[in-house]
Amino acid sequence: MTMTGQCLCGAVCYSVSGEPQMEGVCHCKNCQRQSGSAYSVLFAIANDQLTVEGELTTYEDTSGTGNTVERHFCGKCGSPLFSTLPTQPGMTFVKAGTLDDTSHLNPQVHFWTKSSQNWVEIDSSLPQMPGNPG
């Protein structure tokens, strides 16, 4: 399986080979701010599954637990694309909304639910973590 995606302007595009290792929804305040929405849908892959074309800009963020989160985005249009965490070396978290085809995604877990917006309904059949999963 190969998945492809890109930023809003198309200056950065990527492909992912193989299956995601995790598909989830993050409700942390920083993901809300970065996405401009109530949460961020993402999936985790090993770094060697990802090929990127174009130039990324990185913003070094601090998570609610005090850990560093590197947020990678297109410097031209500002679209958030990936996040990496030094505490999880070798992994990249891809913003699912940047995929060309999201029809195969099925998020399996919700993180940082203690920060979720009160108007967001979370599927009670899925695991929910009030904070950081790590």
- Which CATH number characterizes residue 37's domain? 2.170.150.70
Q: Is residue 120 part of a domain?
A: no
Full residue range of the structural domain in which residue 40 is found? 2-115
Write down the pLDDT at residue 97: 96
- Identify whether the C-beta of residue 41 lies closer than 8 Å to the C-beta of residue 96: yes
The pTM score is 0.90
Write down the pLDDT at residue 132: 78
pLDDT band at 72 (very low <50, low <70, confident <90, very high): very high
Domain total for the chain? Answer: 1
What would the pLDDT profile of 73-84 be if each residue is shown by its tens digit? 999 999 999 999
Q: Is residue 43 part of a domain?
A: yes
Q: Long-range contact list for 65-69, CB < 8 A, 24+ apart?
A: 65/131, 65/132, 67/132, 69/30
Q: What percent of the chain clears pLDDT 90, i.e. is strictly above it?
A: 83
- How many angstroms separate the CA atoms of 123 and 134, rounded? 22
Q: Is residue 29 part of a domain?
A: yes
Res 133 pLDDT > 90 = no
Q: Is residue 106 part of a domain?
A: yes
Write down the pLDDT at residue 62: 86
What would the pLDDT profile of 23-65 be if each residue is shown by its tens digit? 999 998 989 998 999 999 999 999 999 999 999 999 998 887 7
Write down the pLDDT at residue 125: 94
Q: Is residue 38 part of a domain?
A: yes
Q: Is residue 121 part of a domain?
A: no
Q: Is residue 72 part of a domain?
A: yes
Interval 93-116 mean pLDDT: 95
Neighbouring C-alpha atoms within 13 Å toward the C-beta of 67: 15
Percent of the chain that is helix, strand, coil (3-state, to 5): 10, 40, 45
Alpha-carbon separation of residue 31 from 11, 18, 70, 75 (angstroms)? 22, 25, 12, 18
Q: Is residue 134 part of a domain?
A: no
- How many angstroms separate the CA atoms of 131 and 38, rounded? 15
